[in-house]
A and B are shown apart, each in its own frame.
Chain A
Amino acid sequence: MDTGTKISAIAHVSLISWALFGGTFRSEPLPMPVQDISVISAEQFAAMTAQSEAPELPTPTALQQPDAHEEEIPTPEPVEQEPPTPEVSEPNEPEPELEPEPLAPPPEPVVIEQPPELAPPEPEAVVLPTPPGPEAQPRPADKVAPEPVAPPPPEAAPDDIESPAVSLDEGAETQQEQQDQTAPEEATDEIVTEAEEAKEYAPRSSPRPLVRPNRPTPPAEPEVAETEEPTEPEPAPSDETAINDALAEALGQSSEPSGPPLTAGEKDAMRLAVSKCWNVGSLSTDALQTVVVVGFSLTPDGKVLGGTLQMIDSSGGTDASARQAYEAARRAILRCGAKGYTLPTDKYDQWRDIEITFNPERMRIK
């Protein structure tokens, strides 16, 4: 049999079996190990010699050589196949004796004692250095808020409720294109997972019409219709607070609230103002089961009176989860009230002391 014929025969047979079964030879026991081994060594060698490090952080090479083994770090026994690189990752046992030691109490910064309103630089004056946008957040909804909207996240300006910075059109427009791009700016009213995203693309990102309570302007009383009690046609309403205060003082009854109760709209406005900062996104699932009641007092200009914040009650969780829930509630009240809540000044006595129940039931992961 001449060589040409042999070659032809082998080639043909290969072709036939490839056509019939595809890659028959690869599952054959005989050629396979040989092939395997050669590939292994090459690949492995490459992989071993090019041990890559943590991708996210530029690791200082100087730190990577634990050349001299400290006495407290037993060297991990090298495996036969183990790469020759002196791997840093200390094994379980020879942990670098991380001993947690509590530190001395912190330096008492005077600031703590100060009521928030005394904080030196008024944020209004400062041009807020825009924090880098929620860059590269892969999720379509970076934020879940009571109202699914497109406006910028409240941490940019929590008190900016009234400025219609982003038009709804924009939201509608962006939703046409790459969902991912618009995602960081959006707030949806639900968590959208990848699984849901696939089937319910558009509707999820479409902004719902905003229902916003009327913002009460302190001097006028536009909410008459909603109030249960008749509003006093006061000739000088702006003086009312002062007058009531004065009266109360004069009568030695400074603690007794007075003035007309807040209208439903006014209450809603206050609720909304706080809820815009009530971020439960970082709460544990336990804390999300916990309802807390937080009490605090406001100054006449709507700022939180230092030292008055306290947890009045909690239910549905452990002490620890109540603490987390309280801290989130506290952050909400302080952050959104940093510039003072807008409340009708003539009704100060009605809102001087506030108790808010934070019920995260609807915010749980479902």
Chain B
Amino acid sequence: MNVLSKVIALGVLSVMAACTNNDPSALGGGAGGNGSILPGSPSDPQSPAYFQQTVGDRLLFEVDQSTLTGQAQTILQGQADWLLANTDFVATIEGHADEQGTREYNLALGARRANAAREYLISRGVAGNRLTTVSFGKERPIEICSTEECYSKNRRAVTVLTGSTLG
């Protein structure tokens, strides 16, 4: 099972590699025709899609932890930069937990994670009133298997751009 998933993962990675090579030119060609980037597309650095996919909207946590890993801090730094550059947006940080734990505890744990992310963003200059948090505990896993492989992806904080301060 593990081997199989690794094989699949490798396959996906190689496809991705191919994509990274191809996509920019393909998109560039398309955009170049119009002389501008399609607004709102992932290639638009001011779009939520760009934030989500390029900056990275989520960080992962160790079991039972809400401390930020080095990788998480890097992602958050990117988020902070983006938020500082795109001041129209406000964000909600969703905290999540894996299913290994009681509903109540996981709800509280998710809140800790979301808050850890929020505090970091604030420490990087993002205004606190642009950042709210919510915890979903174990109610909204993105991966549904019952192994560490899935759990590690479910222990996350996701920064969701919820709109613009300008309304």
Bitwise interface map of B from 38 to 76 toward A, beta carbon under 8 Å scored 1, else 0: 100010000010001100011000000000000000000
Contacts of A18 in B (CB 8 A): 12
Residue of A nearest to B136 (CB): A27
Residue of A nearest to B149 (CB): A22
Query: What are 20 A-B contacts with C-beta separation under 8 Å?
Result: A1-B27, A2-B30, A6-B30, A8-B26, A9-B26, A12-B19, A12-B22, A12-B23, A13-B42, A13-B53, A15-B19, A16-B19, A22-B142, A23-B143, A24-B57, A27-B142, A28-B160, A29-B92, A29-B161, A30-B48
Beyond known contacts A12-B19, A22-B142, A26-B142: 16 more, CB 8 A cutoff: A5-B26, A6-B30, A8-B26, A12-B22, A13-B23, A15-B15, A16-B16, A16-B19, A17-B52, A19-B13, A23-B142, A24-B52, A27-B140, A27-B142, A28-B52, A29-B162
**Any A CB within 8 A of the CB of B126:** no
Docked complex Cα distance between A12 and B24 (Å): 12
Contacts of B158 in A (CB 8 A): 27
Where the two chains meet, the residues of A that have a C-beta atom closer than 8 Å to any C-beta of B are 1-2, 5-6, 8-9, 12-13, 15-19, 21-24, 26-30
Is B160 a contact partner of A29 (Cβ separation < 8 A)? Answer: yes
Docked complex Cα distance between A27 and B114 (Å): 15
Docked complex Cα distance between A18 and B31 (Å): 25
Contact among A9, A21, A29 for B153, CB-based, below 8 A = A21
Where the two chains meet, the residues of B that have a C-beta atom closer than 8 Å to any C-beta of A are 9, 12-13, 15-16, 19, 22-23, 26-27, 29-31, 33-34, 38, 42, 48, 52-53, 57-58, 92, 94, 140, 142-143, 153, 158, 160-162
Residue of B nearest to A24 (CB): B52
Contact among A5, A17, A22, A27 for B160, CB-based, below 8 A = A27
Contacts of B162 in A (CB 8 A): 29
Is B33 a contact partner of A17 (Cβ separation < 8 A)? Answer: no
Is A1 a contact partner of B13 (Cβ separation < 8 A)? Answer: no
Docked complex Cα distance between A169 and B116 (Å): 63
Contacts of A9 in B (CB 8 A): 23, 26-27
Docked complex Cα distance between A8 and B38 (Å): 15
B60 CB to nearest A CB, Å: 9
Contacts of A15 in B (CB 8 A): 12, 15-16, 19
A22 CB to nearest B CB, Å: 5
Is B19 a contact partner of A17 (Cβ separation < 8 A)? Answer: no
Is B140 a contact partner of A19 (Cβ separation < 8 A)? Answer: no
Is B160 a contact partner of A1 (Cβ separation < 8 A)? Answer: no
Is B160 a contact partner of A19 (Cβ separation < 8 A)? Answer: no
B117 CB to nearest A CB, Å: 14
Is B9 a contact partner of A19 (Cβ separation < 8 A)? Answer: yes
Docked complex Cα distance between A217 and B119 (Å): 87
With A24-B52, A29-B160, A29-B162 already in contact, the answer to whether A19 and B142 are too (CB < 8 A) is no
Contacts of A23 in B (CB 8 A): 142-143
Docked complex Cα distance between A12 and B20 (Å): 9
